[in-house]
Structure 1
Amino acid sequence: MPGFGGVGLQLETPNRDGPTRDLRDHLPSLMSSSYPITLKFIDVCYKVKIQQTNTRGRSIKRMLTHGSTPSDQISTIQEKTILKNITGVVSPGEILAILGPSGSGKSTLLNALAGRHQQQSRAFSGTILANNKKSTKQIAKRTGFVTQDDVLYPHLTVRETLVFCSLLRLPKTLTKKDKISVAEMVLSELGLSKCENTIIGNSFIRGISGGERKRVSIAHEMLINPSLLILDEPTSGLDSTAAFRLVSTLGSLAQKGKTIVTSMHQPSSRVYQMFDSVLVLSEGRSMYFGKGSEAMAYFESLGFSPSFPMNPADFLLDLANGVCKLDGVCERETPNIKQSLIASYNTLLAPKVRDACMEITTVSERDSHLIGSHSCKQHTSSCSVDLSTWFYQFRILLQRGLKERKYESFNTLRVFQVITASILAGLMWWHSDYRDIQDRLGLLFFISIFWGVLPSFNAVFAFPQERAIFMKERASGARPCIWSSNHGCQTGFNHCYCHNASICSNRRILRA
């Protein structure tokens, strides 16, 4: 996997240099080779329909009539535009930063670029091309998407998290030893070796830091050696230094030929200087697209310039919010500023950006043919090179579920609860005659009902907790066995645990 060399956050791991070099030399071509991807998006639009129900009449009248009649309700459907005519291009080795205030459509655009919006639906329109071709399954497999929230298991260590991910996502042609070696190599290259044995943690459990947690999320996607890496606000919640280190890591990955698209909410001036291209959004419309170093000069040509030296990102976000200084005296929020800047972009920059998208040639015809043939070979052998079989995934996910759930099943409160209930149940039937069939049936009824409902009740709460992980792994191409293995092990483990404790405490009656 040559795409990982030279990452900015290097740690000293002399004992792993040899295995890492051997792994890079002996990995199959599926893992060691990757082709560059030039991403184009032309006139991307996204609309949603909002249904609003207006009820006529006063609330007292509705209370007296026990609700409103159908004639009193007026249902209207309004169409809201989230994105409108967004155009841009990003080439291999570049970082495209999407800037804009909250609600400007950054996450929606990233989801569209990652192929997570159904492009056949009426809500989506526009053209998204990868190497001058529409996105295919092979392009999707070479695309890594890092969500804004770090969806990880809190009780697993960093190494366990990446090892389980590599065992699930890497192709079947690699052996288990090679998959673990790939995870260890990514650990070293992303600067996670010092915290590899530390649990992830969450808001209630102390674990790794926020920057390390974000790098673990990036490592999740880097395991498949993606050619296109999309990140949704990776620096949110990080301080300036941690954000700079993270973007430095992304810059080092871009230097290895990867195409990186990321959204930023409020980057520092050091971070802004690392962006090759910048796209500024305001209310779902483009306000600027071009080189980050030329943004200030462009807005100055339109008559908008800061009164004192400041962070270019802060100045662009002020303009995207419609905030500027009028007559050099006071700072006001004026909607006309946003409209005028959007109109200026449509007049001055939009034609140039569209022409640049049409002129850029990503790959030659010969290279395109090679890429197409490589994709066809992967498609024909998808049964053997694709993700592992259902039962193999079930076994790996079951091991992961047991490692994660053992901390909840064997905590002090749970053990005390089960042992106390078992002792009380044993004392209730201690002096019962084992020849009395009613006592034996009563004990069996108590065990089957009480100890059946309690673990099932605990397992139900695991569904909302793991829904985010389930959605994330399903979106990345995992199989349906995720849900059955995780919650099957949760319910079954609790059942066995509780039943064994109860039966052992009442073995005198059940012995007959």
Structure 2
Amino acid sequence: MELEMESQTRTAKGDDQPSVFGTTNRPITLKFEDVVYRVKTKQKKGRWWMKGGEEERMILKGVAGVVMPGEMLAMLGPSGSGKTTLLTALGGRLGGNLSGTVTYNGKPFSNAMKRNTGFVTQDDVLYPHLTVTETLVFTARLRLPNSLTKQDKATHAMSVITRLGLTRCKDNIIGSPLLRGVSGGERKRVSIGQEMLINPSLIFLDEPTSGLDSTTAQRIVSTLWELAQGGRTVVMTIHQPSSRLFYMFHKILLLSDGHPLYFGNGSQALDYFSTIGHAPSLPMNPADFILDLANGVSSDDAGEDRAVVKQYLASAYNSNLADKVKKEVKEIENYGTESMQEKRMERWNTSWWEQFTVLLQRGVKERKHEAFSGLKIVQVLVVAFLTGLLWWQSGISHLQDQIGLLFFYTGFWGFFPLFQAIFTFPQERMMLTKERSSGMYRLSSYFMSRMAGDLPMELVLPTIFVIITYWMGGLNHSPANFFETLFVLLYSVVVSEGIGLALGALVMDLKAATTLGSVIMLTFQLAGGYYVQNVPPFISWIKYISVSHYTYKLLIDSQYSTDQTYPCAPNVTCKVGDFPAVKLVGFGSKGTSIAALAVMLVGYRLIAYLALMRVGATPR
């Protein structure tokens, strides 16, 4: 561990610049043997009354191989062949029914290995509003150890930017399909750069050239080839490489329906298939030829059954290559066994507070565009002024109208924050999965930074709404009453937001979560105490779990007192407390209402936190 920190310190300070693309201090030999992976799938029902059962499907069927430092392995195969599943298994990120042996310098996957492993997913999961520099600097502050200063980490990030050729676009935002940003190739290099920050010895990449033109793909693979030349072990899946790319790979693993069809040097692949009776009939890209074979398409006989071709190739592999590959796995030495011995180390590179601080800064930078979007501001302002005009100076002489305004507060600011919060975790699921799988931060630091960062932004719009509608609606002009009303409304906004967070984290499906949220809030509204005054006893308990009920009760208390009167008839005054809509909820018991909302505030967020614990946890 000390050696790793010293190396990173030298790199960050510029004393050993070649280390970013130069040699790695810990060469890793990756071996895998008899890797089998099974999943259970539901059988289709025959008739509506018949219950569908489960069947077990084998995704990987005894795959073996070895990749040494300085080598780049490309896994090829048609869609559904098991490439990504195998890559995920080798990267220590696949749980479930996985069997076989996967070792790293002769040892199983561990925290020490995770620190020396980079994993680049097929989809570039990046924040669209952050610049290239911000993205890499924030990642460096999270992934590099506390032994480096903030400036050292920023310097190291800039070094990676230079080495990956991202200097030209370093101040451009990442962008998204709806937001113009850097190009696809630059975005892919940013994703690779995030993993290169830790100077990994072992790098996994899932379809790094997907969606890129041939020139950009060539540049990406050339970059990976340079990384391998520095003593790193590079493993990738790739769909359909050009012939130029194909001959850059040191080793090829060809898969079809989970069966290995070839493992060995890429330059010898065509010779192997020629020896078993499958040679190309005309000069062509070797990758295209072997992928045709993996799909069961033989150049010799176009009418031959594809399943027969695949079965023949799998049998040929078992007869000609399987034993040879297993022998190679057993005979090749492990590099750096002593240097990679498991030592007692902290699980996290950075402290809880450092993680919280960085995540808070990053989150505010990214989400300020969404929190204060023009559409959202216009929506609130239009509703606020319309509400003020409808309830224009209603006064206590129109008590029913005033109470209606207070209940509208509970309705609008029950639904609005809930539906904003529902999108929080489903939208960030991919990012959370990616970063937690890499061991970047604790879930608690992420969750608390998210709560702290969102709170001020979520309270600005309801504050503006109250300022506009309170005075236009003719509510009690006393400053004390105004601030009490504002406090109650903001308190209910935070509670309603918690319901949205919990629903989003539990369901992780926006359509289902919004539907469920609508049902819950409408139920709370109906039981709030305004619409129905004679509620049957068997269903009246709903009001005790209703946010709307407690908010409405506190808003009534913030405006009126027990001895206050209103004109109920010409020259006749009545007590506000005797008004039916007020009498039903009653005065007093502020402490009980505040405590009930406090329980909901904490409880819903606790539910959200527990639901998030299943997201992004690396299987061990």
In the superposition, the TM-score normalised over structure 1's length comes to 0.84
Report SS of the residue matched to 2:165: coil
Q: Secondary structure in 2 aligned to 1:371?
A: coil
Q: State the distance in 2 between where 1:54 and 1:47 align.
A: 22
Mapped partners of 1:229, 1:344: distance in 2: 31
**Correspondence 1:111 to 2:88:** yes
Distance 1:410 1:229, change over 3 A: same
Contact 2:137 2:153 in 1 (8 A): yes
Matched AA of 2:183: S
What's the counterpart of residue 13 of structure 1? none
1:426 aligns with 2:388: yes
Aligned match of 2:570:
none
Contact 2:352 2:445 in 1 (8 A): no
In structure 1, give the amino acid aligned to 2:241.
Answer: P
SS of 1:85's partner is: strand
1:500 pairs with 2:463: yes
Post-superposition offset of 1:462: 2.6
Confirm or deny: 8 A CA contact 2:24 2:232 kept in the other structure: no
Displacement of 1:230: 0.3
> Would the alpha carbon gap of residues 128 and 179 (structure 1) be closer, same or farther in structure 2, given more than 3 Å must change?
same
Match of 2:574 in 1: none
Taking structure 1 as reference, are residues 204 and 418 closer, same or farther at Cα in structure 2, changes over 3 Å only? same
Q: Show the counterpart of 1:139.
A: 113
Residues 1:461 and 2:423 aligned together: yes
CA contact (8 A) 1:168 1:396 kept: yes
1:213 equivalent to 2:187? Answer yes
Separation of aligned partners in 2, 1:445 and 1:394? 37
> Which amino acid letter does the alignment assign opposite residue 238 of structure 2?
M
Aligned AA (1:127): T
**Following the alignment from structure 1 to structure 2, what is the Cα–Cα distance between the partners of residues 160 and 245?**
23
Q: What per-residue deviation string (whole Å, max 9, x for no partner) do you get for residues 425-448 of structure 1?
A: 333455244899887766555445
Q: Distance in 1 between matches of 2:149 and 2:211?
A: 38
Which position in structure 1 is the counterpart of 2:101? 127
2: distance between equivalents of 1:349 and 1:173? 48
1:38 equivalent in alignment to 2:33:
no
Aligned to 1:177: 151
Q: 2 CA distance for matches of 1:275 and 1:26?
A: 26
Q: 1:402 to 1:448 in 2, by over 3 A?
A: farther
CA distance in 2, matches of 1:489, 1:203: 29
Q: Is the 8 A contact 1:459 1:490 kept in 2?
A: no
Report the alpha carbon displacement of residue 332 of structure 1 after superposing the two structures with TM.
5.2
Provide the C-alpha distance between the structure 1 equivalents of 2:133 and 2:16, rounded to a whole number of angstroms.
23
Q: Determine whether 1:369 maps to 2:316.
A: no
- Residue 74 of structure 1: how far off its partner (Å): 4.7
CA separation in 2, counterparts of 1:369 and 1:212? 38
Secondary structure of the residue that 2:204 maps to in structure 1? strand
User: What SS does the aligned partner of 1:194 have?
Assistant: helix
Distance 1:27 1:106, change over 3 A: closer
Identity over aligned pairs, percent: 49
Q: 1:391 to 1:452 in 2, by over 3 A?
A: farther
TM-score normalised to the size of structure 2?
0.70
Worse-matched range after superposition: 227-236 or 437-446: 437-446
1:197 maps to what in 2?
171
Offset from partner CA, 1:146-168 (integer Å, 9 cap, x none): 11111111111111111111111
Check 1:27–1:397 CA distance in 2 against 1; reply closer, same or farther (3 A cut).
farther
In 2, Cα distance between equivalents of 1:203 and 1:458: 21
Gaps of 5+ in 2: 5-9, 479-620
Residue 336 in structure 1 maps to residue 308 in structure 2: yes
Q: 1:89-124: per-residue Cα shift (whole Å, max 9, x none)?
A: 000111000010000000110011001123xx5x21
8 Å Cα contact 1:455/1:491 also seen in 2: no
Structure 2 vs 1, CA of residues 167 and 326 (structure 1 numbering), >3 Å: closer, same or farther? same
Query: Counterparts of 1:33 and 1:448 in 2: how far apart (Å)?
Result: 60
Name the structure with the higher strand share: 1
CA distance in 1, matches of 2:17, 2:191: 26
2:53 to 41, 52, 76: 76
Letter aligned with residue 211 of structure 2: G
Task: After TM superposition, give the deviation of residue 336 of structure 1 in Å.
Answer: 1.5
How far is 1:52 from its partner? Answer: 1.8
1:290, 1:283 → 2: CA distance?
A: 19
What's the CA shift for 1:369?
A: 2.9
307-316 or 447-456: which moved more? 447-456
Residue 500 of structure 1, CA deviation: 2.1
Matches within 5 A, 1:465-480: 465-477=427-439, 478-480=441-443
Match of 1:317 in 2: 291
> 2:266 matched to which residue of 1?
292
Match of residue 240 from structure 2? 266
* Contact 2:11/2:17 (<8 A) preserved: no
Closer, same or farther in 2 for the Cα pair 1:51/1:432, shift >3 Å? closer
Q: Which has the larger radius of gyration?
A: 2
Secondary structure class of the residue paired with 2:167: coil
- Structure with greater contact order relative to length (CA < 8 Å, sep ≥ 6): 1
2: CA distance between counterparts of 1:220 and 1:391? 22
Structure 1 letter corresponding to 2:146: K
Distance in 2 of aligned mates of 1:20 and 1:479: 26
For 2:447, the equivalent position in structure 1 comes to 484
How far the C-alpha of 1:419 sits from its partner, in A, is 1.9
CA distance in 2, matches of 1:80, 1:427: 64
| Equivalences, count | 465
What secondary structure, in the 3-state scheme, does the structure 2 residue paired with 1:83 have? strand
Q: Which amino acid aligns with 1:504?
A: I
Q: Secondary structure at the match of 1:267?
A: coil
Q: Does 1:50 align with 2:24?
A: no
Letter in 2 for 1:144: G
Cα deviation digits, residues 325-369 of structure 1 (max 9, x gap): 235xx4655322211111111111111111111111123xxx533
Question: Are 1:345 and 2:322 counterparts?
Answer: no
